[in-house]
């Protein structure tokens, strides 16, 4: 499922939503989770189908069983997606001010990225959310 992440991609400070203990200290996890939950302007799963797809992703990731994924609120599911996208952007080393999409594609082809991020023909940035 394609999710438009343009607003988040262009304006969010990714370490606010995904960062390590080395970067933020021992409260990195709770802080970034709280930030993702409160950043409702960046909650991109705006339809029941998108929320359901993210729940399927959570189950397929192995981090949640059926009961655990179902127990997440829609806000928490959106927060989880915010963290997933931020982590992929940071892992890819994409400069969100001036991304080099050709380099990103090359890196992904060589196994140095997920390939879930892409620039659409419409100039918008998308995330391919797949459950396995």
pLDDT per residue as tens, the chain (132 positions) = 999 999 999 999 999 999 999 999 999 999 999 999 999 999 999 999 999 999 999 999 999 999 999 999 999 999 999 999 999 999 998 878 889 999 999 999 998 888 999 999 999 999 999 987
Q: What does the domain layout of the chain look like in residue ranges?
A: 2-128
Q: Can you tell me the distance from the alpha carbon of 96 to that of 14, in angstroms, rounded to the nearest whole number?
A: 9
Q: Which residues contact 55 (CB under 8 A, 6 or more apart)?
A: 69, 70, 72, 77
The structure's pTM equals 0.94
């Amino acid at each position: 499922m394609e999710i438009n992440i343009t607003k988040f991609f262009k304006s969010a400070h990714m370490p606010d939503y995904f960062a390590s203990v080395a970067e933020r200290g021992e409260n990195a996890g709770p802080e970034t989770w709280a930030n993702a939950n409160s950043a409702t302007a960046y909650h991109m799963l705006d339809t029941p189908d998108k929320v359901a797809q993210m729940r399927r992703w959570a189950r397929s990731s192995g981090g949640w069983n059926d009961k655990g994924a179902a127990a997440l609120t829609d806000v928490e599911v959106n927060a989880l997606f915010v963290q997933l996208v931020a982590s992929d952007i940071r892992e890819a080393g994409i400069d969100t001010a001036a991304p080099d999409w050709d380099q990103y594609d090359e890196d992904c082809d060589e196994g140095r990225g997920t390939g879930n991020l892409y620039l659409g023909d419409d100039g918008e940035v998308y995330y391919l959310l797949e459950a396995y």
